[in-house]
Structure 1
């Protein structure tokens, strides 16, 4: 009886990555050709998802430079494109003059609902209107002055103490990280009535900060 041995040859990781990258480039190229044949007034293309990945270590600076050059621009991805704008007229149009035409959509709702539920920052339409009626009382001038301001002042005071301690010991600090944690503590306190202690490095606060 004859027996045959079969040997499997795994596809190298680099080959697989090259194939995926080639597919993504092809999809982006097709999208570019599609838009070039239409005469709609699209914002200029400032780059692709690859440009964002290459500049991931300085993403804020990269997008800031693009916004200074274009004001309004597009970043292409294989399955769609994102429009960025730093034009005050566009911001006013989206957030005020034609607000209901720019909903958050199902994609953003599905991503945010585990954390925000059916809150004002996640929903559209009638649910948004209902949440706005509730929120408008919380964000009155008196409430902001008496409650929200106190929460931000307490967080700022804690932040000042941490910065002062690190500076007196001549230790390096990540000020952006500290600002982020201070902001999270303040927002959680105002929005949910709970201080998770993100800035204080409490165990629960550290986990929430990392997930957020």
Structure 2
């Protein structure tokens, strides 16, 4: 039998237990109501829960993010969704042309890339044009705009293209056709694009195009750095890769090694190019020579060159791969393209005459509508804002425009 003292203590504890029970019951009710509200008013946003946000759905669809976002955007009346996810900033994803124009033109200054974006690519792209904002971006853009519209660089590009096709790509394709070998066209075009961009950017000779040969170390380093940076951006929890970087383990260690190899290779080319310029042995046709002669610091030159190589290689090879794949799926269109090409190829081609390939241009535009080389791009709002479709944006929000989804919106293109 319990003593009077024990009974007194138990009686005194009853109010405390009761208070705790009421408090837990209240918190449970609040969370349940919040859950119901989130589910009820989330519209076409992904299923969202308290605290974790849409982390579960994001993880389930991690292997098909492009199609998942496209489905959500297609169901939205404004082609815009808002994503809340544990470990990530509030994200506005849009395929609305009015919003895209507002971000990239009308109120451009409020939507820089921002630190969260530059942090993901900073180890790889450094202070290059595709990873900086403000005055540094404007300076590099002005230089790039001037150089890439210069007649001399355009002529050098066309000359390099002809040389790479005639001496590299066509012999490989003819050899493969003669032996009826199956070829990984994507890998072949990646090597071809890499050769082109190395010649135009650095002025160095091409690598081997033969897909049966091992991938060159520089190509492998670019592939590894690109892959890991892409995984950083798509990670459900950003804190994971940051911890791995701090510890120097796993994929982050691989990224560091790949970037070091790229820096070492490009720095050696810069030093060699400077010596050639000093000796008067350089023709000043490539982009690197122009950067050196413009007086930029070596680190800036290195990062700019890496940015141009990265952008030119992957976008070009992706666009060509999808174009050839789609043409193979539509043989009647393929025949018309070949017919147009044969007619126009009877005379010597130059940069300006490429504009006369109307059907080829239409096919390329349609291919890039369906499979854009840049599937999405993100900015980060500096101040609170309101998009043209009345979606509120908070300071610090990630705002993503989505070309892949835009190319599939029936509101823009119709059913077919």
TM-score interval, normalised by the smaller of the two chains = 0.5 to 0.7
Give 1:57's aligned residue: 63
Distance between the aligned counterparts of 2:69 and 2:80, measured in 1? 11
Give 2:220's aligned residue: 206
Give 2:46's aligned residue: 46
* Aligned residue runs from structure 1 range 149-168, under 5 A: 149=158
Distance between the aligned counterparts of 1:167 and 1:94, measured in 2? 48
Offset of residue 56 of structure 1: 3.5
CA 1:97 to 1:176, structure 2 compared with 1: closer, same or farther past 3 Å? farther
Distance between the aligned counterparts of 2:96 and 2:164, measured in 1? 32
Distance between the aligned counterparts of 1:117 and 1:163, measured in 2? 37
Offset of residue 160 of structure 1: 6.5
Give 1:66's aligned residue: 72
1:127 matched to 2:136? The reply is yes
What SS class does the counterpart of residue 121 from structure 1 fall into? helix
TM-score (norm 1): 0.59
Can you list the C-alpha shifts for 1:9-66, whole angstroms capped at 9, x where unaligned? xxxxxxxxxxxxxxxxxxxx9xx87x96xxxxx9952353443432333343333433
Q: Is contact 2:44-2:75 (8 Å) kept?
A: no
Offset of residue 121 of structure 1: 1.0
Distance between the aligned counterparts of 1:142 and 1:128, measured in 2? 24
Larger displacement relative to structure 2 (176-185 or 98-107): 176-185
Can you list the C-alpha shifts for 1:109-137, whole angstroms capped at 9, x where unaligned? 23333332322211111111221221121
1:111 matched to 2:120? The reply is yes
TM-score (norm 2): 0.34
Gapped regions of structure 2 (runs ≥ 5)? 1-30, 48-53, 227-416
Offset of residue 67 of structure 1: 3.8
Larger displacement relative to structure 2 (53-62 or 131-140): 53-62
CA RMSD of aligned residues (A): 4.1
Structure of higher RCO (CA pairs closer than 8 Å, 6+ residues apart): 2
| Higher Cα radius of gyration | 2
Q: Is contact 1:105-1:124 (8 Å) kept?
A: yes
CA 1:117 to 1:207, structure 2 compared with 1: closer, same or farther past 3 Å? closer
What SS class does the counterpart of residue 90 from structure 2 fall into? strand
Q: 1:76 aligns with which of 71, 81, 84?
A: 84
Gapped regions of structure 1 (runs ≥ 5)? 1-28, 37-41
CA 1:204 to 1:90, structure 2 compared with 1: closer, same or farther past 3 Å? same
Aligned residues: 178
Larger displacement relative to structure 2 (54-63 or 164-173): 164-173
